[in-house]
Chain A
Amino acid sequence: MSSFNIYMCGVGGQGIGMLSEVLSRACLEAGHNIMGCDTHGLAQRGGIVVSHLRLGDGVRTPRVPDGSADLVIALERLEALRAADAMLAKSGTVIYYDTIYQPIHVRMGKTSYPEADALEETVKTRGGKVERVQLADIDDPRMQNVALLGRLASTGVIEGVSARVVEQALRDALPAKALAANLAVFEQAAEKTAP
């Protein structure tokens, strides 16, 4: 069964719903058969939220099995590490926004918050790649998801999902008044990768 599995994760309130909606639409537009599912459930902020997206004709279940994510897109560093550890497939790619949301255990001093290196290490042991995204002058943290989309689009890891396709999906999804600011972030994040 050939499939391409994408696992998205972050912290409640970071806008993972929009990320997954735009990416799903872009994958559909690129001609993939898709199935996915989002976390719904508790209203509160601050818990882990995930979204699964699976591409391929043989896909019949919506969740990415453990250890099978070809691509992890994370909105936060600790969650990127958690996903790289349990979800990432061999030679998979992790694209993450390097921001920090401390869980209560860290704030209470019971556990520690990981360094970016810990993530690099974990991904390296799987033979994978990491793309770290962080834009200095992003005014609204709710646009971090768009920065990830920008970077993702420019890497071309998902077959057929070009920058143009993602940008169009973004245009379709966003309200007109938020579009210009988001597109600027999208483009800025894309440019940053060019080697």
Chain B
Amino acid sequence: MAKLKDMLVKRESWSDLIMGNYAVARAMIDTGTRVITTFPGSPTPEIAAALDSVDRDKRDYYFEYSTNEKVALEIAAGASLNGHLSTVFFKSVGLNVASDSLIQLALMELVGGMVIILGDDPGANSSQNEQDNRWFARMSYIPMLEPANPQEAYDMYREAVRLSKERRIPIFLRLTTHVCHAREVVKFNGIETGAPDWTPRFDAAAGPYVPIVSTVFPLKRKALAKLADFEELGNECKLNFVVAPNGSKPIDGKRLGVISSALVAMSVLENLEESKASVDLLKLGMTYPLPRKMITDFLADRDEVMVLEELDQVLENEIKVAAWDAGADCKILSRKDREDFMGELGPRRTMKILSDVWPSIFDAPAEIVPSKEISVRLPQMCPGCGHRSAFHAIRKALEDDVITVADIGCHSLGFMPPYNMGEVLFSMGHGVSTASGLSIGNDTRKVLTFIGDSTLIHAGLPGIVNAANHDHNITLVLMDNGTTAMTGHQPRFGSGEVGDKIPFVPLLEALGVKFIRETDTYQQATLTQHIRDANAHKGFALVIARHPCMLKFTRKQRKDMPDLKMPNVRVDQEKCERIYECVAEFGCPSFQKNEDGSVTVSEELCIGDGSCLQTCPVQALWRPKPGGDK
């Protein structure tokens, strides 16, 4: 089978079964997008993986993982100022980080064109919230397109490029988790552009580009005018359309309609087709600015219209304003239950919502209540993960009344049993400063916090400079696994994969950190002692707890040395006193507790790293020497 990396750069048109993220990557390539930047985060990391898989000599684009979303956005914007079509993409919450510069972009003439792809996550499948970034379009005056499936994601990226270049304005392409990860057969165009022209075409005269008192208002005036033009376009645009799957006929004398967008609109369409109800759907592909004329025309032809959107009440507010202004004589119906403002709205949920407003037409689906008897299964750190050794060792050094602050990364999982460490979490890199705040005026309860190595570079340094130089009385544990693990092992700055190695100790010393201890996390006794010392230190103390990400390590090992088999750890059943330290406290998933109370190690799971051996109080765990019997 042809490899994705080759298909992505195939000059001719093609079609295949493919996920939304890959379809968008192809769209970037076939439209001649020249500069593409990102910071990893679900649901979009596969776009990056696809772009990064293409051989360098076959790339007509520059791609980079930037240090954070703001940096990534600024690089894409700078490239567009030079006349190069650019794209930046990141996860929903990434937009919070990028917003300081984002907010200026619509004021500027982005001559090369620029697309900003958002990976929103209704349902918070892999995010710390389900923020609705449609609000950001309104605040930043940036038009927004919202595809419903991989084919639309591909088509709308291309449309976004066309409009962005024509109007020199950034455009949002808002994807959601199950558009990014949906798979279907997508038809792709051929590659339409020739070799890149890297001439730097920046021209200050095309601006102004410096927003100061005298220019802010002219710039804003221009941005508002562009938005108004966009609205006109939306009224004509083929991305907004009406579907009447069962023909437009009144039901009990009433003409009914639904207005919806993106994947929710597809749930509604399934409901309409299933119920055979002659209710029409206005599906909006361009959701900001709203095509008011098209909408008020739709309302004028109907007696009742339901606005069925996912998450916040964004479209509905604007549609009601438009209806009021137009004096529309149509009843506009809303979601009724507060629960319907949360989570993804798949076809069962939209059917329920439709049945709430039109009970005589739609049947509420039977409720399904999952059995409470079935054991939960929480995500866990991998077998051999260095973070596990760290949590196990750190726990031993803590007083009962300690306050522990979590940060983002695989080590966030430390908040779950059996470690129960990390009791507050806001955002990437918040830990040091939130902990600092918790330490103020607090002479009684120690505050300890964590940060991952990738997060250190992303957003951690300002908090550390602050804590070190105000000498806030906290312990910070840097969980250094050499990679950006949780999002799929993207390179981490300073690991040597991008640029040179950055030695953390001199870096942090130079920033004012005076107390630093470091150890490999498998040295659990040493780590416990370091934490004790750090907690005893009055002021800011840093402990670096280092161990390579073992999932990344073992994958590489399997690739490089396919025949290497590390012997599993075994439990000496004679010695085992059923203390269960390994199973229930250390908690490597390889340990299985059997019906008869005995403990065994799963051969499928154990990677043979041996970090558990030291945890058994009666030394019942042992590991044969590689290649030998014992």
Contacts of A66 in B (CB 8 A): 348, 368
Chain A CB within 8 A of B59 CB: no
The CA-CA distance from A45 to B589 in the complex, in Å, is 9
Looking at B24-32, B110-118, B177-185, the stretch in contact with chain A turns out to be B177-185
Chain A CB within 8 A of B437 CB: no
Chain A CB within 8 A of B270 CB: yes
Chain A CB within 8 A of B61 CB: no
The chain A residue sitting closest to B276, CB to CB, is A1
Q: Is the CB of B17 within 8 A of A108?
A: no
Tell me the chain A residues, 13-68 only, with Cβ under 8 Å from chain B: 13, 24-25, 28, 34-48, 58-63, 65-67
The CA-CA distance from A62 to B183 in the complex, in Å, is 7
Q: Is the CB of A107 within 8 A of B591?
A: yes
Would A47 and B377 be within 8 Å (CB), given that A104-B589, A107-B587, A141-B604 are in contact? yes
Chain B CB within 8 A of A193 CB: no
Chain B CB within 8 A of A86 CB: yes
Chain A CB within 8 A of B583 CB: yes
Q: Is the CB of A37 within 8 A of B370?
A: no
Looking at A76-84, A129-137, A148-156, A183-191, the stretch in contact with chain B turns out to be A76-84
Q: How far is the CB of A176 from chain B (nearest CB, A)?
A: 12
Cβ 8 A contact of A37, one of B45, B178, B269, B378: B178
Q: Is the CB of B375 within 8 A of A108?
A: no
Q: Is the CB of B379 within 8 A of A46?
A: yes
Contacts of A106 in B (CB 8 A): 375, 593
The CA-CA distance from A186 to B495 in the complex, in Å, is 42
Q: How far is the CB of B608 from chain A (nearest CB, A)?
A: 15
**Interface 1/0 per residue, B111-142 and A, CB below 8 Å:** 00000000000000110000000000000000
Contacts of B418 in A (CB 8 A): 104, 108
Chain B CB within 8 A of A195 CB: no
The CA-CA distance from A47 to B589 in the complex, in Å, is 11
Contacts of A109 in B (CB 8 A): 580, 584, 593
The CA-CA distance from A30 to B381 in the complex, in Å, is 39
Q: Is the CB of B592 within 8 A of A44?
A: no
Tell me the chain A residues, 85-135 only, with Cβ under 8 Å from chain B: 85-86, 99-109, 111-114, 122
The CA-CA distance from A55 to B485 in the complex, in Å, is 35
Looking at B78-86, B188-196, B292-300, B486-494, the stretch in contact with chain A turns out to be B486-494
Q: Is the CB of B592 within 8 A of A102?
A: yes
Total B residues in contact with A, Cβ cutoff 8 Å:
66
Contacts of B602 in A (CB 8 A): 101
Tell me the chain A residues, 143-187 only, with Cβ under 8 Å from chain B: 172-173
Contacts of A104 in B (CB 8 A): 378, 380, 416-418, 587, 589
The CA-CA distance from A24 to B1 in the complex, in Å, is 14
Q: Is the CB of A103 within 8 A of B378?
A: yes
Chain A CB within 8 A of B273 CB: yes
Q: Is the CB of A41 within 8 A of B592?
A: no
Contacts of B45 in A (CB 8 A): 40
The chain A residue sitting closest to B264, CB to CB, is A61
The CA-CA distance from A35 to B266 in the complex, in Å, is 12
The CA-CA distance from A38 to B368 in the complex, in Å, is 22
Q: Is the CB of A67 within 8 A of B126?
A: no
The CA-CA distance from A43 to B346 in the complex, in Å, is 25
**Interface 1/0 per residue, B171-211 and A, CB below 8 Å:** 00000001011111100000000000000000000000000
Q: Is the CB of A28 within 8 A of B377?
A: no
The chain A residue sitting closest to B584, CB to CB, is A108
**Interface 1/0 per residue, B152-186 and A, CB below 8 Å:** 00000000000000000000000000101111110
Cβ 8 A contact of B270, one of A45, A60, A85: A60
Would A41 and B126 be within 8 Å (CB), given that A85-B371, A104-B587 are in contact? yes
**Interface 1/0 per residue, B358-376 and A, CB below 8 Å:** 0000000110101100111
Chain A CB within 8 A of B42 CB: yes
Contacts of B486 in A (CB 8 A): 42-44
Q: Is the CB of B584 within 8 A of A34?
A: no
Contacts of B273 in A (CB 8 A): 1, 58
The chain B residue sitting closest to A47, CB to CB, is B379
Q: Is the CB of A35 within 8 A of B149?
A: yes
The chain A residue sitting closest to B184, CB to CB, is A35
Chain A CB within 8 A of B263 CB: yes
Would A105 and B379 be within 8 Å (CB), given that A40-B42, A61-B347, A62-B178 are in contact? no
Q: Is the CB of B42 within 8 A of A111?
A: no
Q: Is the CB of A65 within 8 A of B347?
A: yes
The chain B residue sitting closest to A144, CB to CB, is B604
Q: Is the CB of B125 within 8 A of A47?
A: no
Q: Is the CB of A43 within 8 A of B125?
A: no
Contacts of A103 in B (CB 8 A): 375-378
Cβ 8 A contact of B43, one of A11, A25, A40: A40
Contacts of B267 in A (CB 8 A): 60-61
The CA-CA distance from A66 to B365 in the complex, in Å, is 10
Q: Is the CB of A45 within 8 A of B1?
A: no
The CA-CA distance from A101 to B366 in the complex, in Å, is 32
Would A86 and B370 be within 8 Å (CB), given that A104-B417, A111-B376 are in contact? yes
Q: How far is the CB of A44 from chain B (nearest CB, A)?
A: 5
The CA-CA distance from A153 to B558 in the complex, in Å, is 30
Q: Is the CB of B381 within 8 A of A44?
A: yes
Q: How far is the CB of A23 from chain B (nearest CB, A)?
A: 11
The chain B residue sitting closest to A111, CB to CB, is B375
Tell me the chain B residues, 378-427 only, with Cβ under 8 Å from chain A: 378-383, 385, 410, 413, 416-418
The CA-CA distance from A141 to B602 in the complex, in Å, is 11
Q: Is the CB of B181 within 8 A of A37?
A: yes
Q: Is the CB of B589 within 8 A of A78?
A: no
Q: How far is the CB of B14 from chain A (nearest CB, A)?
A: 15
Tell me the chain B residues, 541-560 only, with Cβ under 8 Å from chain A: 551
**Interface 1/0 per residue, B1-39 and A, CB below 8 Å:** 100000000000000010100000000000000000000
Contacts of A47 in B (CB 8 A): 377-380
The CA-CA distance from A59 to B184 in the complex, in Å, is 11
Q: How far is the CB of A100 from chain B (nearest CB, A)?
A: 7
Contacts of B274 in A (CB 8 A): 1, 58
Chain A CB within 8 A of B310 CB: no
A-B contact pairs, 8 of them (CB 8 A): A1-B273, A37-B178, A39-B125, A48-B379, A61-B178, A67-B348, A102-B593, A107-B592
- Interface residues of A, Cβ cutoff 8 Å to B: 1, 11-13, 24-25, 28, 34-48, 58-63, 65-67, 78-79, 81-82, 85-86, 99-109, 111-114, 122, 141, 172-173
Give me 8 other A-B pairs in contact (C-beta within 8 A), A40-B45, A58-B274, A105-B377 excluded: A37-B178, A46-B379, A62-B149, A63-B346, A65-B365, A105-B376, A107-B592, A109-B593
6 nearest CB pairs, A to B? A47-B379, A41-B126, A111-B375, A46-B380, A103-B377, A62-B182
